[in-house]
A and B are shown apart, each in its own frame.
Chain A
Amino acid sequence: MHGKLNMKSFASLAGGFFLLIALSLIHLIQGQADYTVSELVSGVWVEGRIQDIVMSLRLPRLVIGLVAGGALAVSGAVLQTLTNNPLASPGTLGINAGAFFFVVISVIFFPSFLGQFPFITALLGAVLSSLLVVGLSGKQMDPVRVALTGMIISLLFSSMTGAMQLLFENQTSGLFLWGSGTLVQLNWEGVKFAAPVIAIFFVAALVLSKSMDVLSLGEDIASSLGQNVRLVKLMAWGVAIVLAAATVSVVGPIGFIGLMAPHIVRMMGIRGHFQIFAHSFLWGSVMLIGADVLGRLIQPGQEVPVGAMTALIGGPWLLYLAWKTAKSMKRGDRQMGGTTKPVRLKVLLPLLIGMIAVVITLALSFNGSEWSFEWMKPVVWNFRVPRVLTSFIVGIMLAITGVILQGVLRNPLADSSVLGVTSMAGAGAMLLLVVFPAIPSAFLPLGATLGAVLALGIILVTAWKNNFQPMLVALMGIAISAFGSAATQVFVVKAKLAVASALVWLSGSTYGKGWEDVQFALILFVLFIGPAIYITRSLDTLTFGDDVAAGLGLSIRSTRVWALIIGVAISTAAVSIVGTIGFIGLVAPHIARRLVGFRHLPLMLASGLLGGLLLVTADFVGRILIAPKDIPSGLIVALIGTPYLLYLLRKMK
């Protein structure tokens, strides 16, 4: 047994090193200055141009790639053990998004600070977002919960980043490449900063490996063996976060390496955390350098962000992994919560309608600089009125989606963005834009629908056999979502300038909605409201748990399929009108559940109204805050929704 392991270990190490050396040599040859191999080999030893280029541009790039790939892989390996979650990685836990947001903010508001302390800026963002995820996930580190929290934090940061890029187009245009991760280095500064940090924390990971072996036996056994579980976990989290953050701060958010490398190592039969960490480092380096080599082969002389390359390879892998992992997961039923002393609808409804009336009146009357109550005036009638109405209807639709999806998955953090439907819809639309750059944006919803249907298809196919276990569906959703946003990122880089209008649409905008949009939204709403109401009865039954529900004569599987189809259809309809607005489907049902309890019909009614209220408010605030400029409603929704969501996560311990 031991000998066998050593053989595997040796094979992995030898193979890894051989690949690494080969790839590194190719990597050093690639570059915008055309030198032949023999010129490079002879020129590098003497002082001069070739030596300068190799020593101050190409070598730092290679070294940072080696170090960053290794760090990401080890960080991923640590996180996966810690959260007992095969899908954990710096990318899926929101660390990348947080760091990037901080960099964007400082580029805009404190450019000189970024110039002086680029690493610290990104490090702050990475640490903040990981602290948020860790803090909000609760002590148990429940896998799905950690992953979902990571998703939400990512969603929050990336929506804010998107909005910043919209508002400050000229200042941030150079950040697109870095936003997808790049190894471009200009000197040894990046290496000087990252290498020591990574070295120290890599050693720390190795030191911790024994304790992590014990920890992976389970916390009870670990503590009965005399381990201070909390301390070990805390230290391991620290190691993982710093490794990821140091990397992000130098090379930008690079996904999937932290996810794939540890798995490949495990698949090769390497066991024990010391071995896993060491091998992960090696294979992480191999993968990142390989991706960079590949990127420059595809477009010689141009920069294809290496993060995009890793996403291209890693996306499908992630899907496969999610499917494989989730199959072995045991069913987790979770309580949806909700008040047991509902506010009576007779009281609540007039209150809600009153609030909606007030907000809509405000929204119709103020344009950011002046009041006008002449709603029939052409300027108001043609632009403001339909915009407010569209927001209201779409808000209702988004909230209803949330109610249905949360009900069917029995997952209080489910909504179309968590399921990956939203991000795939975005990716689909962007793909359309890349393939047909001249396409009118009226056709973007077509791409969005294709993307959403694909996402749903994947969920249906993979979850069918497992009877739609909530865990499996949620995990698949996270995988699809990560893939969708990675694909979107690749397309954004590929589409270059044409991207500005797509970014608006992606970040969710109620901008420029006219009467056709009102009509369209209304038709879709009328079309879907019937089935949505019809499904509430079955959803009520489902809340008792699968076994009870089946005992009551409910066909669980067909209920799940239909509820998923209806939920996704409504959310796609909403996306096709206003783009990818998240959070409403998540937040509105929660507030409603605390008001009216968990019966689905009143729940749907109340959250629909709340959703409408939220989006109208968001649209209004976005219109007036920096008038005559416009802030996309998606951002405002995120800003309104997140504090509530964070509060909610704290509360659900």
Chain B
Amino acid sequence: MKQRIVLLIAILMLVLAGCSSASEEPATTETAAEPVTITGTNGEVKLDAPAKKVVVLEWTYAEDLLAVGVQPAGMADIVDYGNYVNIEPQLDETVVDVGGRQEPNLEAIAAIEPDLIIGVSFRHDAMLEDLEKIAPTVIFNPYPEDESIDLYQEMETTFKEIAKAVDKTAEADKVLADLETKYEEKAAEIEAANLKTKDVILTLAYTGAQAPEIRVFTPNSMASIILERIGLNNVHQPDQYEIFGSSTFNVEGLVKYENANYLYTVPDEDNIYENQLKGNKVWENLAFVKEGRTYDLGADTWLYGGPLSAETLMNQITDVMVNK
């Protein structure tokens, strides 16, 4: 069985190799590309030419590439990405799985012979040297400790850097410009919908033991800033600065926000609202539950993504709040 798979893979590889060598021919006739310099948390990274083959080790950065019309050559944790992230364009089936995000397979990455590797600081700082041996590597940090940069600005900056690396700056600007238009459209929709209140809190919940934990997004988080851009008002004010952009609550903590609308995502297989919270008096007597102002954004609305996830989030919000 295993042998057959190996054989099959080998044949596929041969076919692919054949195809790619054929398609590479015209590429060489292009004009010599200009060198580019991109900046990550590991300093400036110089590329002799814009990257063609990029390996991404974190989902958000794959999304950034897809947004400017580039498919990554290799990517980590492809299967889980599909479960949590819902964006267009989708990931191509030819994208090579390079293992887990935490310990990506170095050999698999090297075998792709990428021009650029993109990692995230809280996972990949430790293996930066190994990655740099394979290809120029840039690391970004979506959760800067500096409180003056909000997480949305960070997302935009990183997105532009990544676009620059693959020579798609114009496309990136267009994506961001489109996003601005989209914000205005959606803000108008929200405005026109005459909601009872524009106050909201946005949450992501999961089971910790028998007790559900509810992440409530803080105003500095990217998802919250998107909410504000379309005219909603995040009422959650955390007691302390939350570097990852959310506070962890139990049901009791929701009481003070019960007059707001409740926006949430929850995994399908771990739906705390249908399991543990069903029948809980405190939950069921919360004003937003009683008055039917809870809005399910869907399990695969990724609240930590890039511009495409931002769009998904906007669409979902207006879908459930306005068009329901």
Contacts and interface: CB of A to CB of B under 8 A. Distances in A.
Instruction: Find the residue from B107, B129, B130, B133 having the highest chain A CB count within 10 A.
Output: B107
A223 interface: no
B170 interface: no
Contacts of B107: 367, 379-380, 383-384
B279 A187 contact: yes
B98 interface: yes
Instruction: Find the residue from A31, A58, A301, A509 having the highest chain B CB count within 10 A.
Output: A301
Interface string B180-221: 000000000000000000000000001111111100000000
A388 B248 CA distance: 43
A370 B6 contact: yes
Interface string A274-285: 000000000000
Nearest to A499: B122
A177 B123 contact: no
A173 B215 CA distance: 12
Interface string A315-350: 000000000000000000000000000000000000
Contact of A630 (B80, B97, B99, B253): B99
Interface residues of A, number: 69
A326 to B, nearest CB: 36
B84 A382 contact: no
B282 interface: yes
A498 B210 CA distance: 25
Contact of B250 (A32, A166, A369, A500): A32
Interface string B106-121: 1110110000000000
A382 B133 contact: yes
Contact of B110 (A167, A383, A632): A383
Per DSSP, chain A at the interface is: helix
Interface string A29-41: 0011110000000
Interface string A43-69: 000000100110111100000000000
B16 interface: no
A90 B54 CA distance: 51
Contact of A185 (B110, B206, B210): B210
A190 B281 CA distance: 16
Contact of B9 (A369, A383, A442, A514): A369
Interface string B203-247: 000111111110000000000000000000000000100001001
Contact of A501 (B108, B123, B212, B270): B123
A378 interface: yes
Contacts of A167: 100
Given A177-B208, A369-B6, A53 B280 contact: no
B122 A252 contact: no
B4 interface: no
A383 B213 contact: no
A382 B103 contact: no
Contacts of A370: 6, 9-10
B16 to A, nearest CB: 14
Interface in A489-531: 496-498, 500-501, 504-505, 509, 511-512, 514
Given A300-B239, A440-B125, A186 B110 contact: no
A512 B208 contact: no
B281 A177 contact: no
A173 B103 CA distance: 17
A184 B251 CA distance: 10
Contact of A627 (B105, B129, B130, B253): B105
B90 interface: no
Interface stretch (A111-119, A400-408, A463-471, A608-616): A111-119
A632 B98 CA distance: 16
A244 B281 CA distance: 30
Nearest to A114: B207
B102 A169 contact: yes
A250 B210 CA distance: 8
A252 B102 CA distance: 27
A177 B213 contact: yes
A401 B281 CA distance: 58
A131 interface: no
Contacts of B206: 173-174
Contacts of A103: 209
A32 B6 contact: no
A477 to B, nearest CB: 30
A543 B313 CA distance: 70
Contact of B211 (A112, A185, A629): A185
Nearest to A444: B126
B324 interface: no
B6 A628 contact: no
Instruction: Find the residue from A118, A176, A628, A632 having the highest chain B CB count within 10 A.
Output: A628
Given A33-B253, A379-B107, A514-B130, A166 B102 contact: yes
Nearest to A176: B208
A628 B106 CA distance: 9
A497 B244 contact: yes
B282 A53 contact: yes
A170 interface: yes
Instruction: Find the residue from B9, B249, B252 having the highest chain A CB count within 10 A.
Output: B252
A32 B129 CA distance: 44
Contacts of B129: 514
A178 interface: yes
A118 B207 CA distance: 12
B37 interface: no
Given A169-B102, A496-B244, 16 more contacts: A33-B255, A49-B285, A53-B255, A111-B270, A174-B209, A301-B247, A302-B247, A380-B107, A383-B130, A438-B145, A440-B125, A440-B126, A500-B122, A501-B122, A514-B133, A629-B99
13 contacts: A32-B250, A32-B255, A52-B285, A53-B255, A56-B280, A166-B102, A170-B80, A174-B207, A182-B211, A184-B209, A186-B250, A501-B102, A514-B133
A-B pairs, top 4 by smallest CB distance, nearest first, are A178-B209, A32-B253, A628-B99, A441-B126
Interface of A: 31-34, 49, 52-53, 55-58, 103, 107, 111-112, 115, 118, 166-167, 169-170, 173-178, 182, 184-187, 189-190, 250, 252, 300-303, 367, 369-370, 378-380, 382-384, 438, 440-442, 496-498, 500-501, 504-505, 509, 511-512, 514, 627-630, 632
